Amino acid sequence: MRSVKEVSVAIIGGGPAGLAAAVRLYDKGIKDIVILEREKMPGGILRQCIHDGFGLTRFKETLSGPEYAQRFIDMAEERKIPYITDTTVLEITPDRKIYAASKNGILEIQAKAVILAMGCRERTRGAISIPGERPSGVYTAGVAQSYINLYNKMVGKEVVILGSGDIGMIMARRLTLEGAHVQAVFEIQPYSSGLPRNVEQCLRDYNIPLYLSHTVTDILGKERLEGVVVSRVDEHMQPIPGTEKTYTCDTLILSVGLIPENELSIGAGVTLDGRSKGAVVDENYQTDIEGIFAAGNVLHVHDLVDFVSREAESLADAVAAYIENGELRKCSLEVETDTNITHTIPQKISGEKSFLLSMRVRQPMKNCEIVISQGGQIIKKKNFKKALPAEMIQIPIDAEKLNSSENLEVSAIC
Amino acid sequence: MEQYDITIIGAGVVGCAVAREISRFQLRTVVLEKDMDVACGNSSRNTGMLHAGFTYAPGSLKAECTVEGNQEFDQVAKELDVPFKRTGKLVIGFNETDRANILKFKKIGEINGVKGMRMINREEMDKIDPNAGGEFAMYVPSSGILDPMQYTIALAENACSNGVKFRFGSKVEKILREGDTYRILTSSGEFRTKWVINCAGMYASQISEQLGYPNYPVRGFKGEYYVLDKKAGKNMPIPIYPAPNEKGGFATHATPTVDGNVLVGPDSYLTDEPEDYKTTKEHMDGLYRDGLKMFSEMKREYFIRNFAGIRWKIYNPSTGENQDFVLESDDAHPHTVNLVGIESPGITCALPLGRRAAAIIKEKEQPDNNPSFNPCRKGIRRFSEMSPEEKIHAVAENPDYGEIVCRCETVTRAEILTAIHNPLGVHTVTGIKNRTRATMGRCQGGYCETRITEMIEKELGISETDVRYSKAGSYMFTGKVR
Amino acid sequence: MLREFICIMCPQGCALQAEEENGKVLEVSGNTCPRGKEYAIQEITAPMRNIATSVKVENGELPLASVRLTGPIPKSKIFRAMDEIRKIYVKAPVKTGDIVIENLLGTGESVIITKTIHKI
């Protein structure tokens, strides 16, 4: 039967962003909420991230992914926040109606506010156009992680990894601990795309070489993977002829980037930022569709879950204000960047509210300075001994320093 | 040893169409296929066009079968429940050379019996597709797009429900003439049969030789493709082809698929290896460059996948000219039908060729009609194509329709389960994909592949080491972690 | 001798330099907090690591329960620790924090469950 439900806030996704937003909303007095989760259990991607190192900032201890998720699940359950699992949202309309499918039927929800917290997906072989045959044995790092940590299936024995994303390096260690032989990690960029600590504790600890400026240029094997050809690349990331080397292996793991999962957002009419691949949001994490908000990896890919939960909490504060007042301050000022910065969150501000500015640099920089200004007037400067694309930079901006008439300019200067 | 009246070698679209047409008669028929599913070769590696027939030489078997196959396809798609749209096609031109070439083939089309082709101006083009380039075009209303995997599966399932057996993993190694029958040695055992029908695609010349026919010289014209996201296909209602060259060849083009994706390609180059399906950087780069020139949505963020297919054409070594399809049967080679060089437009021609092959057997054997023959077959009911009301009813009737397994393509557990228990007994991951579209979307199985492999194991009661991606040796797991 | 490595104590990943002589650390630089110095000294004298893996679960809603160590153990014992953990299987239900091996290889650290698994 068709069941229509009305709620103040519907949260799409029960991962760390969705759970953190729900808990904060509840504590702010917004209790009429529902979390929609497509998996059997809440927790999102953390359920398969069994390695430790989560929660250092928030909990002052180092937890595994499932433990970190459990902290938030426990908080949600203590508050009796309803979450509906095994339910996939099919559509969100611009007027915040949600259609979702589950074994119990098609659920229809009308929400005053919708929080997009769907996380991200992995880039695939097709997305980066790796040539060659199409055998089995080519897995993205997250899929391999899911098979090994959730499904109890071992994906292979002789492994090559393309891409030095954090999950790729973590899988290098994970596979090694489970008896596979990881021959090498290849990275097309001249620098690691994951955190330096993961290079240290996942690769160096296990004598797994990391080759920078290298990529896979051919995939061999018509049935199961038999090998990969790896080439060195030039400064334009084009393979250099004559540098090909064949590695015999039965498994290729791809860790070549994450993309915010915004199919539902697009359906709702939300405008995306071509740089972050997530929604364009203002200082309230509100998208350009009123009442639809976004935080976490669906907005921009994070490297630390503590940043995700913190962002979701800031979002929840704004959503609570939105529910109470029926609207939020208009944000018409743009956040502009120079070419050293890939993107910022938020992209729009009012100039009248303090906010946290998140950004990434395009390439590694040493002894650089992030300068934030408005109409030539410097608002804030921050020095960095090193700035890496792998590390998100976050700088709090104080409303008192801002004016409400000029765009904000962000630049990274060496 | 299994015994049959008819043995069809090859479960591509042609073999399956022949099987379906022979299933109209009371004949014990088997299809031998070396791979683990139907359509593992070039039947699944093409543009999925229902061709009209304006580029083939008048009087050729190709021209005759194309026009016949095109005209009947609305009926065929309905009977076999195959995703199909008669979109029409625009062949666009910019200059007088283009116009001359287009008009040349319009005339050939008219001789071949292609109906409704007409030249249109820019104004009329705007009504059909404002995004189409070009100053003028030939509008070919009879062209269409279909899902070639679904079509081959549909033919096979229909043949199967009408009594034809399918033996996968049965590579033909030797064919021996013994008295009035043939003994066929395969990788899965021996088969005795009265008739042999050669539908072996890229290996058809070898089988032809084993049957005593010529080992026809063939050349492989390989083409690579990009598959683009459905976002790129939103504004593409109709296939747009550039004006052909004077030989009737088309440069790289972009074609919508019946599911809403876009194919960019194929390009064309020669290959010697029968199953040289690897994609290459050189050609992918070329497709990207050419694609950018003619298709504004050729964006890297829309890239989903690449694939390659090969058109194995018979040619005359002394003139270098490509030849027509071969369909032959004579008393010097008793109880055989030989189909060689069936390449593009093989999908469009499959049923007409099947009908001709069946007619040869009918004439010789005078078989009784199959009293239980049913020309209709139902495909898997797709949740994504249901109306909101239908979705509610579907979930109420079968709760598995409420569990979305593949997020990108909105494929439900009910559909995957039906696919796993398909009548042909195929259970590769690729087989499930081709039957449901699960894993075909932009995340390429990132979300659903783990679920599908788990369902295959549980439903069939097999261990993880027995799960196959596509081919016999394409194992996915080396064992359990614990 | 100058040794260089990346601190793994937090995501900041400071590039540490340590001056070492005969296994003794004379000076540490590059660290932004005291934990970095501790780490550098430990890394040179007796490197320690934590590991995470899974144990088999019977009758659980999932086939595996993830586990980790309560604290780091000598790096040289990692593969022996894996051998010990591999021998373990548990029966559902198990709860986050349940101890499955106490005092692993005499290190004083335990192996604990990190994911609650209900019984089916």
In the listed set A256, A275, A304, which residue is the last one of a domain according to the structure? A256
B270/C contact by beta carbon, under 8 A: no
C:18-37 residues touching chain A, CB 8 A cutoff: none
Residues A108 and A202 in one domain: no
Report the distance separating Cα B215 and Cα B203, nearest Å: 10
Q: A200 to chain C nearest CA, in Å?
A: 6
In the listed set A206, A236, A256, which residue is the last one of a domain according to the structure? A256
**CA nearest A391 in C: which residue?**
C12
Residues A222 and A278 in one domain: no
- Beta pairing, strands A138-140 & A251-254: parallel
Report the distance separating Cα B314 and Cα B61, nearest Å: 13
Q: A97 to chain B nearest CA, in Å?
A: 14
**Tokens standing for A96?**
């915040």
Report the distance separating Cα B243 and Cα B97, nearest Å: 9
B482/C contact by beta carbon, under 8 A: yes
* Residues in chain A within 8 Å Cβ distance of B410: 90
**CA nearest C88 in B: which residue?**
B482
Please report the pLDDT score of residue B249 as a whole number: 81
* Residues in chain A within 8 Å Cβ distance of B474: 135-137, 223-224
**CA nearest A120 in B: which residue?**
B443
Give the model confidence (pLDDT) of B59-69 as tens digits. 999 999 999 99
* Residues in chain A within 8 Å Cβ distance of B225: none
Give the model confidence (pLDDT) of B199-225 as tens digits. 999 999 999 999 999 999 999 999 999
Please report the pLDDT score of residue C10 as a whole number: 87
Answer yes or no: is B390 within a domain.
yes
Backbone angles phi, psi at A395, to 5 degrees: -130, 120
> Does the model's pTM come out above 0.80?
yes
Answer yes or no: is B80 within a domain.
no
C:7-46 residues touching chain B, CB 8 A cutoff: none
* Residues in chain C within 8 Å Cβ distance of A56: 10-11
CB contact under 8 A, A136 and B475: yes
- Report CA A147 to chain centroid distance, whole Å: 20
CB contact under 8 A, A124 and B443: yes
Residues A128 and A235 in one domain: yes
Residue whose C-alpha is closest to residue A53's, from A285, A232, A306, A276 = A306
Report the distance separating Cα B274 and Cα A245, nearest Å: 26
Chain C touching partners, 3 or more CB pairs below 8 A: A, B
**What residues make up the domain containing B233?**
85-144+218-314
Residues B258 and B138 in one domain: yes
* Residues in chain B within 8 Å Cβ distance of C56: 482
Residues A118 and A132 in one domain: no
Residues B222 and B123 in one domain: yes
Find the CATH number of the domain harbouring A363: 2.60.40
- For tokens 């059909």, the residue is B128
Provide long-range contacts, Cβ within 8 A and 24+ apart, for B364-371: B364/B335, B365/B5, B365/B25, B365/B27, B367/B5, B367/B25, B367/B26, B367/B27, B368/B25, B368/B26, B369/B24, B369/B25, B369/B26, B370/B23, B370/B24, B370/B25, B370/B26, B370/B162, B370/B163, B371/B26
Residues B112 and B231 in one domain: yes
Q: B457 to chain C nearest CA, in Å?
A: 14
Report the distance separating Cα B374 and Cα A131, nearest Å: 44
Find the CATH number of the domain harbouring A190: 3.50.50.60
Residues B232 and B299 in one domain: yes
Backbone angles phi, psi at C116, to 5 degrees: -70, 125
Interface test with chain B among A86, A99, A129, A258, by most B beta carbons within 10 Å: A129
Residue whose C-alpha is closest to residue B13's, from B113, B158, B140 = B158
Q: B417 to chain C nearest CA, in Å?
A: 21
Residues of chain A with pLDDT under 50: 1
Total domain count, chain B:
3
Chain A touching partners, 3 or more CB pairs below 8 A: B, C
* Residues in chain C within 8 Å Cβ distance of A70: 96, 115-116
Residues B225 and B132 in one domain: yes
CB contact under 8 A, C51 and A177: yes
Beta strands across the sheet bearing A214-220: A214-220, A227-232, A245-248
* Residues in chain A within 8 Å Cβ distance of B403: 86, 88, 101-103
Give the model confidence (pLDDT) of B24-80 as tens digits. 999 999 999 999 999 999 999 999 999 999 999 999 999 999 999 999 999 999 999
**Host H or E run for residue C93:** none
Closest CB to A64: pick one of C5, C52, C64: C52
Q: B447 to chain A nearest CA, in Å?
A: 8
Residues A155 and A245 in one domain: yes
What mean pLDDT comes out for the span B8-27? 98
Give the model confidence (pLDDT) of B135-169 as tens digits. 999 999 999 999 999 999 999 999 999 999 999 99
Residue whose C-alpha is closest to residue B239's, from B259, B219, B253 = B253
**CA nearest C85 in B: which residue?**
B482
CB contact under 8 A, A178 and C75: no
**CA nearest A145 in C: which residue?**
C53
Residues A129 and A251 in one domain: yes
Closest CB to B482: pick one of A99, A102, A152: A152
Contact A229, A245 (CB under 8 A): yes
B281/C contact by beta carbon, under 8 A: no
* Residues in chain B within 8 Å Cβ distance of C82: none
Domain C52-113: assigned CATH number: 3.10.530.10
In the listed set A256, A287, A307, which residue is the last one of a domain according to the structure? A256
CB contact under 8 A, A52 and C52: yes
What percent of chain B is modeled with pLDDT above 70? Answer: 100
Answer yes or no: is B481 within a domain.
no
CB contact under 8 A, A127 and B303: yes
Residues A282 and A241 in one domain: no
Other CB atoms within 10 Å distance of the CB of residue B100 = 12
* Residues in chain A within 8 Å Cβ distance of C64: 149-150, 152
Chain A to chain B, count of Cβ pairs less than 8 Å apart?
Answer: 146
Residues B223 and B300 in one domain: yes
Please report the pLDDT score of residue A38 as a whole number: 97
SS3 of residue A225 by DSSP: coil
Could you list the active site residues of B?
A: 51
Give the model confidence (pLDDT) of B381-410 as tens digits. 999 999 999 999 999 999 999 999 999 999
| Spans of all domains in chain C | 2-45, 52-113
Q: Which pLDDT band holds residue C12 (cuts at 50, 70, 90)?
A: confident
What mean pLDDT comes out for the span C28-54? 94
Give the model confidence (pLDDT) of B94-114 as tens digits. 999 999 999 999 999 999 999
- For tokens 């014990």, the residue is B28
Helix B346-365 crosses helix B13-22 at what angle (to 10 degrees)? 40
CB contact under 8 A, C89 and B481: no
Residues B93 and B140 in one domain: yes
Residues B255 and B332 in one domain: no
**Tokens standing for B360?**
């040869």
Residues B390 and B441 in one domain: yes
- For tokens 């309309």, the residue is A93
Residues B98 and B225 in one domain: yes
**What residues make up the domain containing A368?**
331-414
* pLDDT for residue C21 is more than 80: yes
**CA nearest A147 in B: which residue?**
B450
Contact B389, B402 (CB under 8 A): no
Residues B273 and B399 in one domain: no
Please report the pLDDT score of residue A233 as a whole number: 98
CB contact under 8 A, A124 and B388: no
What mean pLDDT comes out for the span B4-11? 98
Beta strands across the sheet bearing A355-361: A341-345, A355-361, A393-397
C63/B contact by beta carbon, under 8 A: yes
CB contact under 8 A, A177 and C116: no
Residues B297 and B157 in one domain: no
Q: B482 to chain C nearest CA, in Å?
A: 6
* Residues in chain B within 8 Å Cβ distance of A102: 402-403
Total domain count, chain A:
3
Please report the pLDDT score of residue B335 as a whole number: 98
* pLDDT for residue B482 is more than 70: yes
Chain B touching partners, 3 or more CB pairs below 8 A: A, C
